[in-house]
Amino acid sequence: MKRVILVFLKHPTPGRVKTRLASGLGDEGAALAYRQMVSRVLEQARSARPDVIAVAYDPPAAESEIRGWLAPYLDAFQGEVWWIPQSDGDLGHRIEAASNEVLRRYESAGVIVIGTDCVHLDRGLLDEAWSILAGGDDVVFGPTEDGGYYLLGVKQEHPCLFHAIPWSTEQTFQASLSAARSHGLKSHVLAARTDIDTIDEWQGVEAGLSGRPCVFFDRDGVVNRSPGDGYVLDVDAFELNEGIADAVRWLKDRDWLAILVTSQKGVGKGLMSRADLNEIHHYMQSELALNGAAFDGIYAYTGEADCRHLPKPDPEMINSAAESFFIDRRRSWMIGDADRDIAMGRAAGLAGTIRIRGDKEISVEADHTLDSTAGISELFGKYL
């Protein structure tokens, strides 16, 4: 069964998102809170390793802006990303239209429909929902404590789930469950979770969504075997270094972020294409995911004239990631094998730097130096 997550979201325009939160945070503050919630929900969606993340976005006219906003979160995803403009009509009509479109595109798919208000949606719940659908149930609901639902799982079209339902009320979940059962659909109910709608609910989760710590990784010579003075130009030449998969999983197990910041000027020199680079990173992410975790974001300076990033030691890649992922640089670290990596970490105001000793000359000292990537997790345990 192909595993699909269908995420409903809006452009984070102040005054159009989280309007109930705006009464306490203001329009700008509510929009910022919404962006933080979307970041966490997409992080959890990626961690479940679906085959497809389909984004049902609103308004349709803002597709370009929405793609740019979500690029830091979805560029690192190793599966397929599909973009679906939301249709007109009430919430039920919009969910029905988008989910049916997904079901018609992907045969034998288990489609999990989610919004972005439930930041406690984790991989375990997503895996449970897919398992239940694969086991023979027709519908899976994840109810919220306010009477709605944070998750709907289906594998076929079921019009009864979307018509004559009192949307956005305390009766939404019960009415949907009753509709499913009255039409003979075998239904399963997951554990209840809280949607973040009120200022009290927001204050209960805010600390876990903002100011998160991160370790930034250089790629060649750290994540993978160094190509020397050349470039890794294809998947066959890419080999993960010992201990890297364990280090990334160590971070994710403790709710740290792990982000790749790399210079790949072979693209700008015409030695490889962006598609070649994307294929390498797709392979890297898939290999890391086999060990339980992958990078949350990938930032690459390619040397092309239209590259949106700046070369090291400029801290732009770290600064951009910190803004998108709401990172506390004062608690974050940089791991590299070159002076420019260490200098970039310092210029970004990070808490510490780690050098992996290789064949490069050293003129900028790091806070810690390791002879091998195999020792990274042990060092994390001492200092992070």
The residues annotated with a catalytic role in the active site are: 218, 220
With left for phi above 0 and alpha for psi between -120 and 50, is residue 51 left, alpha or beta?
alpha
Determine the Cα–Cα distance for residues 296 and 42; give it in Å rounded to an integer.
10
Determine the Cα–Cα distance for residues 159 and 367; give it in Å rounded to an integer.
60
Determine the Cα–Cα distance for residues 144 and 47; give it in Å rounded to an integer.
22
Q: Which long-range contacts (CB under 8 A, 24 or more apart) does 234-242 make?
A: 234/272, 234/276, 234/279, 234/280, 235/279, 235/280, 235/283, 238/280, 238/283, 238/284, 240/284, 240/287, 240/288, 241/373, 242/372, 242/373, 242/374
Q: What is the DSSP string of 141-191?
A: EEEBTTSSEEEEEESS--GGGTSS--TTSTTHHHHHHHHHHHTT--EEE--
Determine the Cα–Cα distance for residues 16 and 46; give it in Å rounded to an integer.
26
**CA proximity to 359, closest of 250, 265, 226:** 226
Tell me phi and psi for residue 275, to 5 degrees.
Answer: -65, -40
Q: Which helix (H) or strand (E) holds 109?
A: strand 109-114
**Cis, bond preceding 14 (omega within 30 deg of 0):** no
CA atoms 86, 91, 94, 99: torsion sign: positive
Determine the Cα–Cα distance for residues 43 and 235; give it in Å rounded to an integer.
25
> What residues pair up with 300 in beta bridges, in sequence order?
262
Determine the Cα–Cα distance for residues 369 and 367; give it in Å rounded to an integer.
7
* Stated length of the chain: 384
Strands 149-154 and 139-143: antiparallel
